[in-house]
Amino acid sequence: MATNPSTSRGTWNTKLGFILAAAGSAVGLGNIWRFPTETASNGGAAFLIVYLVCVLLIGLPVMIAELSIGRSSKKNPVGAFRALSNNKFFPLVGIWGVLCGVMILSFYTIIAGWTFSHVFVEIFTYTGMDGAASLLSDFGNGYVNAIFALLFMGLTITIIRGGVSDGIEKATKFMMPLLILILLIMTVFVLFQPGASEGLRVYLMPDFSMVTTDLVLAALGQAFFSLSLGMGALITYGSYLSKKENIVEAASYVTLADVGIAFLAGLLIMPTIFLAQAQGVQIYDADGSFLAGPALIFQILPQLFAQIGGILGLIIGVSFFFLLSLAALTSTISLLEVPTSYVIDEHGVSRKKAALYVGLFVLTISMVISFNTGLIDNIDYIFSVIGLPLGGLLICIFIGYFWKTQSAVDEMKNGFKDIRDSWFTALWSIFIKFICPIIIIIILAQTIFG
């Protein structure tokens, strides 16, 4: 509905709608699956603390930067860099962002498909249809992977085709509160189980001897991935934001929501793992390291749900995988929106067609990955572990040395009148020009050459 007639770009209807959509993009498998296991394998609260420092020192300033670029240019990442500077290099950064979006989405949909298929696995297990349950939980089966990836992508495309306010905003406004509610209920339930305290102890007692360069790398990567930074998702979402809104405040809410939900997910998952262990489920692998990744979510937790048993086990199991599917869907939406908005803006294609074509293109790559799931780790490494911080670095350099921090501050002034005289602008500018790029360069260099 809320389409701006002069540019025919969509706009967010309400500030809350925007914050929920951006928080929906941020909150995903990264929070509920990756964050708790990273924490568990990296010294518990020690990782949590380093992660929080990365979020505050790098994540939040870069998020404000992306939103300013987006709202000022009112363009997709490629068009945005072109609109704000004559430099010929930076539109390539936008293209890199679009490519990262496509590639991350191509494997994210498959994992999202697993979370969705496990809603059915729980039901089949409960009803004694063991054959169907084990068919769906076999990740080596390319056909099953492909079918659920297709389902998930279909849902994502349908929402994106609805547009910014009638599609993305409406869907996330409904899904995010539901997600928070399910997460809260499940967390409270788990925390009251006898034996939950062991997991809480591991989660909340920092073991600082574990702080190594690897841990810092993991924490920075997690911050970029979890906040959806570095590939222009927030440039795109910012391009639909009204000049009335306060970017700094909005970015703070989104960051708070993301960190809050990750923390809450830790309160749910960590005790759950130890509850499972108390029930005899294996949680460490042969070399004594923590079973992370797919094993944790798709093997350990279902075993626990089965041991709880009965209708209660079913309800918990189904809710958990439904929760994960919701979180994943609000994230795949943002991943698809970036290349879609690029095709709409730069190639003059209608939204409905663009969403369909881009979605089908991504799905083609997903089909290949479905039959070769070993590719996931490699694609993740290139396009998220390296790709996102690299994008973030280039965004900082663009603002700091080409578009200029002053132009960004002028943009932030819309919706935040006092900002020009505040200490915040000086501090933010120093972060974007020096602190963020230097930290990212050091960490990237360690990742690549270390």
Q: Quick one: which of 51, 81, 124, 225 contacts ligand TRP (CB under 6 A)? A: 225
Stretch that binds ligand TRP, among 111-119, 126-134, 150-158, 222-230 (CB under 6 A): 222-230
Residue 3's DSSP bridge partners are 10
**Site size for ligand TRP (CB under 6 A):** 16
Q: Could you give the CA distance from residue 363 to residue 357 in angstroms, rounded to a whole number?
A: 10
What is the 8-class DSSP label of residue 403? I
Minimum gap (Å) between residue 338 Cβ and ligand TRP:
7
Letters for 101-140 (x = contact with ligand TRP by CB under 6 A, - = none) are ---x------------------------------------
Q: Could you give the CA distance from residue 447 to residue 70 in angstroms, rounded to a whole number?
A: 29
Minimum gap (Å) between residue 39 Cβ and ligand TRP:
14
- Dump the DSSP string for 107-147: HHHHHHHHHHHHHHHHHHHHTT-HHHHHHHT-TT-HHHHHH
Going by C-beta distance under 8 Å and a sequence separation of 6 or more, which residues neighbour residue 364? Answer: none
Enumerate residues 370-409 that contact ligand TRP by CB under 6 A: 388
Smaller CB distance to ligand TRP: residue 125 or 366?
Answer: 366
Minimum gap (Å) between residue 102 Cβ and ligand TRP:
11
- Dump the DSSP string for 199-226: HHHHHHS--GGG--HHHHHHHHHHHHHH
Smaller CB distance to ligand TRP: residue 47 or 274?
Answer: 47
Q: Is 239 in the site for ligand TRP (CB under 6 A)?
A: no
Smaller CB distance to ligand TRP: residue 196 or 395?
Answer: 395
Q: In residues, how long is the chain? A: 450
Stretch that binds ligand TRP, among 60-68, 85-93, 178-186, 223-231 (CB under 6 A): 223-231
Minimum gap (Å) between residue 385 Cβ and ligand TRP:
11
Q: Could you give the CA distance from residue 249 to residue 254 in angstroms, rounded to a whole number?
A: 9
Minimum gap (Å) between residue 274 Cβ and ligand TRP:
24
Q: Could you give the CA distance from residue 293 to residue 167 in angstroms, rounded to a whole number?
A: 31
Residue 427 to residues 253, 431, 437, Cα–Cα distance (Å): 19, 6, 14
Smaller CB distance to ligand TRP: residue 25 or 165?
Answer: 25
Going by C-beta distance under 8 Å and a sequence separation of 6 or more, which residues neighbour residue 387? Answer: 96, 100, 103, 104, 230, 231
Minimum gap (Å) between residue 170 Cβ and ligand TRP:
19
Smaller CB distance to ligand TRP: residue 200 or 375?
Answer: 375
Residue 228 to residues 282, 288, 333, Cα–Cα distance (Å): 33, 32, 12
Enumerate residues 14-43 that contact ligand TRP by CB under 6 A: 25-26, 28-31
Letters for 283-322 (x = contact with ligand TRP by CB under 6 A, - = none) are ----------------------------------------
Going by C-beta distance under 8 Å and a sequence separation of 6 or more, which residues neighbour residue 223? Answer: 51, 54, 55, 58, 59, 229
Side-chain half-sphere CA neighbours of 201 within 13 A: 6
Smaller CB distance to ligand TRP: residue 59 or 400?
Answer: 59
Question: Where does this chain bind ligand TRP (CB under 6 A)?
Answer: 25-26, 28-31, 104, 225-226, 228, 231, 233, 331, 334-335, 388
